[in-house]
Chains A and B, each alone.
Chain A
Amino acid sequence: MKKLLCALLVLVTTMSFIFTGCSGNNDNVIKIGINYELSGEVASYGQASVDGIKLAVEEINKAGGINGKLIELVEYDNKSDKAEATTLATKLMTRNKVVAVLGPATSGAFKATIPVANENKIPVISGSATADDVTVDANGVKEYAFRICFNDSYQGIAMGQYALNNLSKTKAVIIMDSSSDYAKGLAKNFNEAFKAGGGSIAAEEAYVAGDTDFNAIITKIKGLDFDVIFIPGYYQEAGLIIKQAREQGIDVPILGADGFDSPVLLELAGASNLNDIYFSNHYSSLDKDPSVQSFISAFKAEFNKEPNAFNALGYDLAKFVIAGIANAEGEVTGESVKTALADTKDFVGVTGSFSIDENHNPVKAIVVIQLTDGVQSSSERVSQ
């Protein structure tokens, strides 16, 4: 009993001790919180997003900031852990007094921060949380949650229709990442759209993120009758699946989504295996638009590598939020920023121009990119 009391005493005293110190506020900066997966299993998405964000903020600060104030980023690592994401969102909003929180990158962790945002009236914005119910669900719109990427059903349906209408294929095999809600959402919507259009699904196979051996799955489907493969998932595994499938002699078109977009896909699969690959994306580096080309060259200069989808979305995310801050009426608070973000019209970004709809989603066109010998050979815009 005594020890319990002592421990509680220690708890209370240390807590009051540690937490009394607060950082002073500087009037000449506007603080934006970064709550990303910098370690843990999806660290690569978080790190890539943050690289893009930092590039954008650096550019804006070099140009003198906004309304005479510089942007300061307060950066925390949520360890790819949802509880940590909730705690850090709380910390950013109540202690660091940020006006908006960027991230997390994945839908699950992002959703875990939304109740905190609503409670503190400070918006949270994600560049890559694509699950359908992130910003809106049966209970209505999440007032303080925004995103700048299209959702899973939009992409899944678009690719299902693309396979049927543009490629004239009718028998599909789906190989999905069963450990990711992103991939499951894509698979479900592709499946429905494909069947609704008269196609049939020959098989649905699954793997988990981090797998490297897909030979068993590929050997299994080899004996089936199909004319197209859809791989909802990320480039880390998709690159290997494509490689192993092509090496086992499967030469049907392979479809994917924005998770394919990374230079690493080419490295993993090898150029000779990347033929007849189609994937939906937010932007294409073939785009001759000067803003896209200047982003690509700025990114290369800074990080010495080709940008991927997470980099581009992170870059756009920071620009989008900072534009919202610049447009906020009156004092810059979470609430005024939220109103400005909700009213965004025709924001021009690297990943396309968009307006924010009443569900806090961007209205964006989807780009379908074709790879031939590992390079983008064509890109076409698809709208539904």
Chain B
Amino acid sequence: MIKIEQFLQQVFNGITLGSIYALVALGYTMVYGIIKLINFAHGGIYMIGAYVGYFCMTFLKIGFFPSLLSAMTICTLLGVTIEKIAYKPLRNATRIAALITAIGVSLFIEYGTMFFVKADVRSYPALTGLLAQKFAVGGFNVSMLQVLILVITVALMFLLQITVKKTRIGKAMRAVSLDKDAAELMGINVNSTITFTFAIGSALAGAAGVLVGIYYTSINPLMGTMPGLKAFIAAVFGGIGLIPGAMIGGYFIGMVEVMVSGYGNSMYRDAVVFGILILVLIVKPAGLLGKNTREKV
């Protein structure tokens, strides 16, 4: 009996962690899908989101939802600025040069932030009221926060899916990611579409940052590196460039991590994640949902 409860608890832990990865992975996958760039600065934007939320809640003392919105807004602006200043001049350079720029931007964001807020961890203020509630379902504990994270994540993904599938700009995004030149010939403004993609991806990363902040309470300037990497892996796992792929990948990586810590040897947690990734890549390089395309001459 205890075993089943424990298992359910672990599943819930995995879903919560996976939600965060999925939100960050969405930004990676959208940017990659449209300009084939591994945007290493994405982890930095996620970190900035966490700090903006922290400052809003600690110093401005505005509530959770206004903080979430301000973090998303500021991250959107940041993402768009980065795209304009650092990536746009490299649109026609080699992809690897753009990648190095992305690494430079990521270092710049991390250490620029560290210069102002110092390296030590900061902690989010304790929550009060409804958000601090906890309840026991059957034998396992669920906090209001976990439910909130799940609800917000699903809502944001739903919004994103609608935007991409049902709106004009979504259609433009899909067109640009399929064939940039053809899209341009059809009268689509490629530049503004790319900017829009960065804006959405960054907003999601900002939201993930705030959610991580309130859930785990601890934030620091280098917090984006590892989750950023894992989120990218999640994106590759699900099939990079595909929005449902990023979600599935995010939840899968979260679940694997929790299960390895819970039932295996926690020391090898990351090794298992990377091992699975390599296996998937070898068996199905395009990722779980990706279509294997044959290369033509």
Contact = CB atoms under 8 A, between A and B. Distances in A.
A223 B120 CA distance: 34
B66 interface: no
Contacts of A44: 118-121, 220
Interface string B214-234: 001110101100100000000
Interface stretch (A190-198, A225-233, A262-270): A262-270
B141 A47 contact: no
Nearest to A46: B119
Interface stretch (B71-79, B261-269, B278-286): B261-269
B137 interface: no
B13 A215 contact: yes
A268 B125 CA distance: 9
Nearest to A222: B6
Interface string B61-81: 000000000000000000000
A239 B121 CA distance: 11
A219 B123 contact: no
A48 interface: yes
Nearest to A239: B218
Contacts of A247: 134, 141, 143
A213 B17 contact: yes
Interface in B245-272: 257-259, 261-263, 265-267, 270
Interface string A42-69: 0110111000000000000000000000
Interface size class of A (residues with CB under 8 A): 20 to 34
A217 B141 contact: no
B267 A206 contact: yes
Interface in A218-255: 219-220, 222-223, 236, 239-240, 243, 247-249
B121 A208 contact: no
A205 B260 CA distance: 12
B223 A210 contact: yes
A46 B114 CA distance: 13
Contacts, number: 100
A216 B222 contact: no
B218 to A, nearest CB: 5
A365 B270 CA distance: 39
Contacts of A39: 111, 114, 119
A247 B16 CA distance: 16
Nearest to A267: B123
A212 B258 CA distance: 12
A41 B265 CA distance: 24
Tell me whether chain A's interface is mostly helix, strand or loop, or mixed.
helix
B126 interface: yes
B101 interface: no
A334 to B, nearest CB: 30
B45 interface: no
Nearest to B110: A39
Centre residue among B3, B10, B14, B119 by max chain A CB count within 10 A = B119
A217 B262 contact: yes
Nearest to B3: A223
B161 to A, nearest CB: 26
A270 B126 contact: yes
A213 B12 CA distance: 12
A354 interface: no
Contact of A208 (B9, B212, B216, B270): B270
Contacts of B96: none
Contacts of B114: 39, 43
Contacts of B126: 270
B137 to A, nearest CB: 14
A207 interface: yes
Interface string B200-224: 0000000000001000111010110
B141 A248 contact: yes
Contacts of B223: 210, 212
Interface in A291-346: none
B297 interface: no
A240 B123 CA distance: 10
Interface in B91-145: 111, 114, 118-123, 126, 134, 141, 143
Contacts of A243: 217
A372 interface: no
B217 A48 contact: no
Given A43-B119, A223-B6, 5 more contacts: A212-B212, A216-B259, A217-B266, A239-B218, A264-B120
15 contacts: A39-B114, A41-B222, A210-B226, A212-B216, A213-B257, A215-B13, A219-B262, A220-B261, A222-B6, A240-B218, A249-B141, A264-B120, A267-B123, A268-B121, A270-B126
Interface of A: 39, 41, 43-44, 46-48, 178, 205-208, 210, 212-213, 215-217, 219-220, 222-223, 236, 239-240, 243, 247-249, 262, 264, 267-268, 270
